[in-house]
Amino acid sequence: MKVWGAHGEFCARHQWEVIVATLALLACAASVERHGPGNRSEHCAGWARACPGLEAEYQAADAVIMTFVRCAALLYAYYQVLNLHKIASKYLLIIAGVFSTFASFIFTSALASLFWSELASIKDAPFLFLLVADVARGARMAKAGWSAGEDQGKRVGRALSLLGPTATLDTLLAILLVGVGALSGVPRLEHMCTFACLALLVDYIVFITFYPACLSLVADFATNRKEIAHDSPFSEEDLKPNPVVQRVKMIMAAGLLCVHLTSRWPWSANHGIIEGPIDASIPVPHDNILLHSYVKWFSVSADYIVIATLLCALIIKFIFFEEQRNWVYDMDDMTVKEVINDTDLSRKPKFSVGDDSNSEVSTQTDEAGNVEDMEWPTLSPSSSASKLNAKKRPMVECLELYRSGACTSLSDEEVIMLVEQSHIPMHRLEAVLEDPLRGVRLRRRVIASRFNNETAIKQLPYLNYDYSKVLNACCENVIGYIGVPVGYAGPLVVDGKPYMIPMATTEGALVASTNRGAKAIGSRGVTSVVEDVGMTRAPAVKLPNVVRAHECRQWIDNKENYALLKEAFDSTSRFARLQEIHVGVDGATLYLRFRATTGDAMGMNMVSKGAENALKLLKTFFRDMEVISLSGNYCSDKKAAAINWIKGRGKRVVCETVISSENLRTIFKTDAKTLSRCNKIKNLSGSALAGSIGGNNAHAANMVTAIFIATGQDPAQNVTSSNCSTNMEAYGENGEDLYVTCTMPSLEVGTVGGGTVLTGQGACLEILGVKGAGTRPAENSARLASLICATVLAGELSLMAALVNSDLVKSHMRHNRSTLNVQTANVEPYTVALKVPPS
């Protein structure tokens, strides 16, 4: 691989030397005249003249057959051109065709006329070359060599290092395979196969020398003129060969090599030796052989008229009548989709995949902000998927296939039939079909038909999503996904390090407001303190009477007994470690609030599993104890509860910062006394008057929820996690700076498990540098908690400043008003005006 890479880079960096040297060799080969004696009296006259034995055999039937072969070669070449449209642009196609096919053919013709003058007439050579030349290989090389972001020479060298070994094996196998025709004993077929082998060899040499140099040169010119446009991103995986296919090719090459050795080896001593003196009297033509060959190409005959007509028709069709197509390769359902710009239907782009019943419609937004539909029409009738779905087998046969575990061989219609008859549960489609995407697609069809909401279902996107990470982890009965915009606020400096905070939200002005707060904080940054309180779960247990309940409580409070429960709890996980059992009493019912640290996971499942095991041990000592519920709401999870506000849950975080008087004046257009006064009246007194629990803040839930959605946290836990107390006071010698703190005692976050396994959410965690487990337990989850609290602080500052300046309505009118909604409202501005009920 390194040798190929170095060779390709050498050719790309020494473009002119390689090109000039190759063209010089071509000129020499084309201009050499064959002088010297022949060794046989029946010597043929070269490309310009036919061999005596062969010309007699070229009768009318032969002409018809060869005309058919030539037409087939042209059609095959046209088919290759159309296929290349899927992997390369027209510009790449032209470069690959001209420099690979044409150059290789010229070199082949020159060498053949120089060394093998006894070959048959050259008029069949172009068509034979069309059948053996690999144009697609040149297009892949061009696409790889023109990928941006790296030195051109290194890029070409890397592309050749990937394509070179495969091209070598393919060429060797093709030469050995075509060379079998030279053993047939049919003179014309032998000569044609000889030319084909020579063409393959020359095409290979051109591909690894002349073509990389030309490619690099043209790329340099095009880059200077900014003409190169990539239709799709290049991946090195596209060039890596299949190891199984390569192994099969090597075995075939070895077998064909044995055939050639046994057929051509000189077993006798005199085999292949020409005896007798060389006859010097045989005339040798002194004219240029290659020139005569090209002149003979244009001799008019019936077969040439047919070929010329077909060639002109294909060229005209390709230039004027072939639709311009944009191909998209979808990695989810492994199909090539065609984007068709239809100007007759309001210029709505359509994507072509699937069968009739699988057509999907999604939406996209153009540059002007207009929403456009994207339809997914049908596959062609000749496709394998359409043929498979065209024949529905009987129910008995389909049911037998399903029960035998061969459900993957069932067509879409057959699977839907089994679902409708309740043989296949709807929620198990992905597992049964062993294809998550197909399961989602078929569930959408069933739901659309069953509830008559096909239009709505089609507007819900489902392609380009990794459902394998969703199954048994995040969601059931999946029919698609919802895209939520993700913005960033920052840089926000937290504990001396700047962060870009991803926020997923549909509330306009939220990200902009938080970003303004981060700007006001500036390089001074936010200082944070994090305490890993631990996750909680509080089962409710009931005993026969209050006496037994009191005895049970005293037993749990005993240190030795607590150690037994802790051992049982900790044995269920490598990370969960019990910290406390806080007992609440209501008559004969006890609420055992287990609190445990859970590493970098949010930990609800860990604590539930550990609490369940501890209850089994406790029941061995109190056999009259009845477990009412694994969760008795004393935890308390996803509900506003004073116990979380007081005792904490998850992570307890406190952040502080100081905003300078200059930033208050220039960014917030206010001062420290005004903000601290507003905070006291709004966040403290107002929340107390409302009886709020943990609500001593302006809008902490906004930032918490936005980061939760972006990073794969449980959005419902924003109820507890948004508990926050915001405090502001004048600071400094003159009291003109502002000291701000945010205290959040119950932030429930994790960086492993749950929604963090999804691709997009994992990417947001990676942006923050907290994806996965840290080197120390709870390291990454604690950092995520501190970043959330710091972001809340930035958002609190910005909103409070907007409130004291009466900027809130103004900013929301600018950032949180949909243009589409405003335009719709302007059509009938007073549709919902005052309606006075009848008296």
Classify the C-alpha dihedral 727-733-734-737 as positive or negative.
negative
812 is catalytic: yes
Residues 714, 729, 736, 779: which is the catalytic one? 714
Rounded CA gap, 619 and 556, in Å? Answer: 12
Which burial class, exposed, middle or buried, applies to 46 when counting CB atoms under 10 A from its CB (0-12, 13-18, 19+)?
buried
Catalytic residue, candidates 190, 507, 570, 580: 507
Residues 179, 183, 189, 192, CA torsion sign:
positive
Identify the active-site residue in 86, 392, 550, 638: 638
- Active-site residue, from 519, 619, 812, 815: 812
**Cα(772)–Cα(763) distance, rounded to whole angstroms?**
11
Q: What is the radius of gyration, based on Cα positions, of the chain?
A: 39
Q: What is the spatial distance between Cα 175 and Cα 258, in angstroms, rounded to a whole number?
A: 13
372-396 burial, b if ≥16 CB within 10 A, otherwise e?
A: eebbbebbeeeeebbeebeeebeee
> Can the peptide bond before residue 811 be classed as cis, meaning omega within 30 degrees of 0?
no
Per DSSP, the three-state class of 740 is strand
How many helices (DSSP H) and strands (DSSP E) are in the chain?
A: 34, 16
57 classed as catalytic: no
- Please state at what angle helix 187-208 crosses helix 152-179, rounded to 10 degrees: 170
Contact assessment for residue 192 and residue 200, using Cβ atoms and an 8 Å cutoff: no
**DSSP output for 764-782:** HHHHHT--S--SSTTHHHH
Residues 128, 73: Cα–Cα separation, whole Å = 7
Annotation marks residue 507 as catalytic: yes
**Bridge partner residues of 532 (DSSP):** 651
How far is Cα 182 from Cα 65, in angstroms, rounded to an integer? 19
DSSP string, 599-641: TTB--HHHHHHHHHHHHHHHHHH-TT-EEEES--SSS--SS--
Beta-carbon contacts of 791 under 8 Å, excluding residues fewer than 6 positions away, are: 489, 492, 501, 503, 514, 518, 703, 707
DSSP assignment string, 221-256 = HHHHTT----SS---GGGTSPPHHHHHHHHHHHHHH
Taking a C-beta distance cutoff of 8 angstroms, is the pair 726, 662 a contact? no
Please indicate whether residue 151 is annotated as part of the active site: no
Q: Which two tokens stand for residue 474?
A: 């995040």
Residues with catalytic roles: 507, 638, 714, 812
